[in-house]
Structure 1
Amino acid sequence: MLSQIVNSSVLRGASGFVRPFASATVVKYSSFGRPEEVLKVEKDNVPDNVGASDVLVEMIHAPIHPVDINLAEGTYGIRPKLPSVAGTEGVGIVKKVGSSVQGLKPNDYVVPVISSSIAGTWRTQGVFGEKQLQKVPSDIPTEYLSAVSINPCTALRLLDDYVQLKSGDVIIQNAASSMVGLSVIQIAKSRGVKTINVIRRGPDFDDQVQRLKGLGGDIVVDEDYVRSPEFQRLISDLPRPRLALNAVGGDSATELARVLGDNGHLVTYGGMSRRPVTIPTSHLVFRNITSHGFWLTKWLETHSQQERQAMFDTVFSLIRNKQLKLWLEKHKFSDFQGALARSQEPAKGRKIILDLQL
């Protein structure tokens, strides 16, 4: 009987009244595994009458993020309840608000903020709780808005929360060609902080070097070069880095720790190599190196709405002042499998963005 009700475009609520709904296209997964196998494009029913504290959002753009892949694989730090709508970032426009919603109104632009209740942004329409959403300005391109809430915000926190950096200071990072890495370079540049950037050597290595230096990277080298005497000579006229940012782990993280100055801080926010972070005992005992871990989800859960707003305002100001550029590549939602495959290609250099209205 329920399927008959659903197919007739109405849904009977708990109090017995009939609620109309709209049909939305979504990407769901009902089990964990290879993303190309478990992620399925489906039709879903979206209630037209939202609850008191809920917001109906028409989604516009959403990126394919490494977090999304890890969630589908079941390898992320948290596991959503299945079945689940995929996607952790995106931007949409408010269509309807519930009777108790105070901070949002129709036609506002919003981004779902990643949290322990994974947002589910790969959809054409969806209902979100008001507390899941962050209002964002309309003067910034929606492609940019869709991709600001994880990578640029992570970059900002990494630069602000562990060391009080000043102009002339030096930091070092691996995974520098990632969107977090590119954001770190640009934000550091805007503050006069120099960056040493470590990337993998691939077929487009020279292009990557040129791109990173064009965005303000002071030194760009591959992982092998960091271990060489030539690298030590290259950085000999710079102050030792006060901060090292690690998204790789394994030997790459160890080399970052070796380059750090005394009393430096190593912050790990990812583990692309899936190998543990190892710091030589001598660096901990004699050089007082401190190791931290960072997870943006936890930061959001433990900080106030005012602090979250200040973080977003800083990122938006950088974008408006042309001090932060995001490298994006847009794909039609109707070609989801093609976009997913493209997102898994090595050394593509751009974040894949789904146009959810095409």
Structure 2
Amino acid sequence: MKTFSLSNRLAVVLLAGALASPLAFAQGVFEGSGEVSDPNCVGDGCGYVPAEQASEQDFQYGENSEVSSAESASGEQVPADSVVSDSTLADSAKVATMNIDEEDDDAPHYVAENAAEYRARKEGFSRGVQFGVRVSGGVNKSFGQKSGDWNIGPEFGAGLMARLPLGESFGVATELNFSYRHYGYESESDYGEYEATVKEMLFEIPVMGQLVVDEDGLFFALGVNLGLKMSGESEFKQTITAEGHKSKETRSNTIPTVGVEIGGLADIGYVVNRWLVMDLRVVQNFTNVLDLDRIAESTLMHSKLYTMHVSLGVTLLL
């Protein structure tokens, strides 16, 4: 009876081991089984899925990593690969943004500086009555009857300026300038050679309308120019050659000029900043610079000289 019992127990043990082995092999993961742990399950009690299905799920989550943040907020399971992809993309965007910011670091300052300069120009040229000091330098050239022997001469000026804006793009300006002019004359005849110089000091009063045609500060002006002579002097030199002999004679103040000159004015300028304006001015006189009623030199009688004055000016606004 005892022997029978021992045999029965041994048979039960063997039978249980035989049944447990297939179950263990069925549930275990071993090389060549074709199944892996479910990548969508975390914790105990997770099952196994075919390897092909697991790789397809990983591939899909790798392509659609953008949904990780939204699914995490809703409480659903988020693959680990998507989090890594999101962080990588975020870092790349951050680096790109930092590079752009570093390259364009001077852009905001540049824009602000340009805006400030533009505002300063407009404030200095279009708002309120403006006063300034103008200095200029240029040349003169005479046109008209018997003007071919008159050379190009230098001239300089300095004075005060006032401007009244009548809008953002238009204004009226006037000046009171003290000017110095120099005219030179050279000619020859059968009797000899002639040289003359004429020097003038006068007040000039230009009145002009200025039109701003560009937001950067470019402007044009048209007007009239009035010249009032303060003082003048001349010198005439004559060299006569006769029978091999030369005789020289110098006469002073025999070439008088008129006391009042009237001319047209054209001006183009640029407002550099709130305090500085540069311009190129052309004045063409309509009156003869010589006083023919009082002239004493026969070679210059019946001359008509209409002078053109070209000058470059710089105005300092106060």
- TM-score clears 0.5: no
Q: Larger radius of gyration, structure 1 or 2?
A: 2
Taking structure 2 as the reference length, what is the TM-score of the superposition? 0.21
* Bigger proportion of residues as strand: 2
